[in-house]
Structure 1
Amino acid sequence: MTADLAEALYARDSRNRSGWSEVTLTDTAKWLSGGTPKTSEPSYWGGDIPWISAASLKSPWIDDSDRKVTRLGAENGTRLIPKGSIVFVVRGMSLTSEFRIGLTQREVAFGQDCKALLPAPGIAPETLFLALKSMTPEILGLVDAAGHGTGRLATDRISKVRVRLPEGPTAANFSYAVVPLIEQACAMRRENRTLAELRDTLLPQLVTGKIRVKVAERLVEDAT
């Protein structure tokens, strides 16, 4: 709900003429491409750095992934991006119906089916994320077919998309309003993930009688 409120604030405020301007997306950030370390090399995988792919990018708040690379893997075949980067899918079956986009909450690596944007100085990551997300219908209209049901979003097409961004004091005021909402949404997602992991761990033990209900309740309280 907090994320929805942030999007609603952007939709409302960006309609204002005063303090807002329209810019081409290519001028808002540094654009980066990702890659995949050699999967047959075990020293590249199983580390603690989330590796984001078209398949794993399912949440707008990126801080984890089902696949992780080591520091060595990150240096061989992929690319690291810092917290506050924007990642979106440019090739995949999901593009035929949805535009997957996320804002990194920590350092991550990412695959070749995604692009990353590092916002230019003076542009808040949260604001650029909301601006790009608001253009979802137009962006999906730029997707073409790459074969076998796979959608493709060409860089030369999406880079020409124009977004509305605040300037000067308006930019600072807007960030002040939306950043806490996004931080709260991220915290709620982490808590939900922790609770889901606890459920999967504790439920079998409760069923088999290995732990008592009161113990399970205390573990949940400690985790949240």
Structure 2
Amino acid sequence: MIQNQNFENKCLRDIASKNKFSIVDGPFGTQLHASEYQEEGIPVVRVVNTTYEGRFDSRKLVFISLKKANSLKRSEVKPGDIVIAKTGATIGKSGIFPDTFKRGIIASSCIKISVDTEIADCRYVNYLIQSHEGQNKITDAAGGSTRTTINTKPFGDIRFNFPSYKEQTQIAVILTSIDRAIEQTEGIIVKQKRIKTALLQNLLTKGIDEHGNIRSEVTHEFKNSPLGRIPVVWKVKTLREIGKWFSGGTPSKTNEAYWDGIIPWVCPKDMKVFDLHGTIEMISEKGATYGSKRMPANSVFIVVRGMILAHSFPVCFSHREMAFNQDVKAIISNDEIESRYLAYWFVANSSRLLRIVTTSTHGTKRLDMHELLEVNLSYPQRKEQIQIISLLDNVERNIELNHKQLLKLRAQKTGLMQDLLTGKVRVTNLLDQPFTPT
């Protein structure tokens, strides 16, 4: 950390309250059992209530009786106390116990620090803990050969540089405003994804009429089909009938001439986005010819083999020519179906398709291709497909814009934490100019 002459170096014990139990961990496992949890009472703070962003998550709180809480008073937390995960892979997660509760008890997997509010701002201390430096210091102070754990004494010995109380509060206000913007943006993205899910379900089963409204059996004619009731003008075909299916491959890794070329090579690890513009690995013309398969732009890719199929069904729409490996299938739709409509159909039906995933003798997950190709798909005329695609693309575009804004806010927070918590940039300089999270 950069030493600023206006900062004072202190350990966490120095800024803790003078209470006997200002830095404590939770009770031994034998003192508090999951069987004692109940739906109301005194909250028990566990690791799941802390986050890597330092945000307290109340959604998964459990509770114990007042009598039980009183017997564990040593591990009590009050509003403004900072709770930190002390063990294992989650070590360093934190959160400030909120004022929505008068008191709580921390679980055995946590440490808490009660801050002396006359010399330190709990929000500022929480940001120090969540900083890159803070996380490294917690890890360095932890011990244990099999499971990393930080105990109360080494935790209290961790040292940071502290500015005046006033400046701590000013820094906390600035960083909290960014956190609030991050949380709001995350909420917008969650809401937009819910809208997208609802639209996918309605648009790909009911479609839209000439007025741009989702059809209803009250106002439009529907018919029976293998998929249930669908608009009378829609058709039903199997996935086998809707286009051509292609298998990919992996060029020999021992032949350097096959690799580091200009042709994107799609693997499941690339398929974390719907619109695919590029890949991690590239192959050469020879690699595509002798070890893989090249597909044109506007192809649909789906994962058919891999452990990711245990919980997810990756689908991508390509925006350029690409080759792909043997864990992926590519589809070029026929003239009746827009390829992007097909891609959205796979997304909308991912849960249904995961039900036909099987497990090989080696434990690998794979789609039963015979069963997959017999799955029915319903679709309207191409004009309506294009309208449906446009509506879904608008939602997808808004999600992407907000995701970019979220990344920008997170980067801004990281930069400000580095500058303000080290004294590299003094908060007084920032206060002389208007500050708004970008």
* TM interval, short-chain normalised: 0.7 to 0.9
Q: What is aligned with 2:199?
A: 9
Distance in 1 of aligned mates of 2:376 and 2:314: 18
| Aligned counterpart in structure 2 of residue 113 of structure 1, from 301, 324, 327 | 327
Cα distance per residue 1:63-88 (max 9 Å; x no partner): 22211101121111100111111111
User: Any conservation in 1 of the 2:247–2:328 contact (CA below 8 Å)?
Assistant: yes
1:170 positional shift: 2.3
Q: Does 1:30 align with 2:220?
A: no
User: Any conservation in 1 of the 2:337–2:382 contact (CA below 8 Å)?
Assistant: no
1:36 positional shift: 0.8
For 2:290, what is the secondary structure of its paired residue?
A: coil
Q: Does 1:47 align with 2:261?
A: yes
Q: Counterpart of 2:199 in structure 1: which amino acid?
A: L
Q: What is aligned with 1:57?
A: 271
Q: Counterpart of 1:20 in structure 2: which amino acid?
A: W
Cα distance per residue 1:130-173 (max 9 Å; x no partner): 11221111211111111333101121111111122222542343
The change in CA–CA distance for 1:116 and 1:25 in structure 2 (over 3 A counts) is: same
For 1:76, what is the secondary structure of its paired residue?
A: helix
For 1:158, what is the secondary structure of its paired residue?
A: helix
The change in CA–CA distance for 1:169 and 1:102 in structure 2 (over 3 A counts) is: closer
Unaligned runs of 5+ in 2: 1-188, 207-229, 420-438
Q: What is aligned with 1:142?
A: 356
1:179 positional shift: 4.3
Q: Counterpart of 1:159 in structure 2: which amino acid?
A: L
Superposition CA RMSD, Å = 2.8
Q: What is aligned with 1:216?
A: none
Q: What is aligned with 2:422?
A: none
Q: What is aligned with 1:84?
A: 298
1:6 positional shift: 5.1
Distance in 1 of aligned mates of 2:276 and 2:194: 17
Identical pairs, percent: 26
TM-score, length-scaled by structure 2: 0.41
Distance in 2 of aligned mates of 1:119 and 1:4: 28
Distance in 2 of aligned mates of 1:5 and 1:118: 28
1:181 positional shift: 4.9
User: Any conservation in 2 of the 1:131–1:165 contact (CA below 8 Å)?
Assistant: no
Q: What is aligned with 1:212?
A: none
Cα distance per residue 1:151-210 (max 9 Å; x no partner): 011211111111222225423432343345556767888x79x98xxx8xxx9xxx9xxx
| Aligned counterpart in structure 2 of residue 127 of structure 1, from 341, 359, 362 | 341
Distance in 2 of aligned mates of 1:76 and 1:55: 22
TM-score, length-scaled by structure 1: 0.75
User: Any conservation in 2 of the 1:14–1:20 contact (CA below 8 Å)?
Assistant: no
User: Any conservation in 2 of the 1:37–1:78 contact (CA below 8 Å)?
Assistant: yes
- Which structure's relative contact order is higher, taking Cα pairs within 8 Å and 6+ residues apart? 1
The change in CA–CA distance for 1:123 and 1:185 in structure 2 (over 3 A counts) is: farther
Q: Does 1:171 align with 2:361?
A: no
Q: Counterpart of 2:266 in structure 1: which amino acid?
A: I
* Number of matched pairs: 198
Q: Does 1:97 align with 2:311?
A: yes
Q: What is aligned with 2:165?
A: none
The change in CA–CA distance for 1:85 and 1:168 in structure 2 (over 3 A counts) is: closer
The change in CA–CA distance for 1:187 and 1:49 in structure 2 (over 3 A counts) is: farther
Unaligned runs of 5+ in 1: 208-224
1:59 positional shift: 2.0
- Larger radius of gyration between Structure 1 and Structure 2: 2
Q: Counterpart of 2:320 in structure 1: which amino acid?
A: R
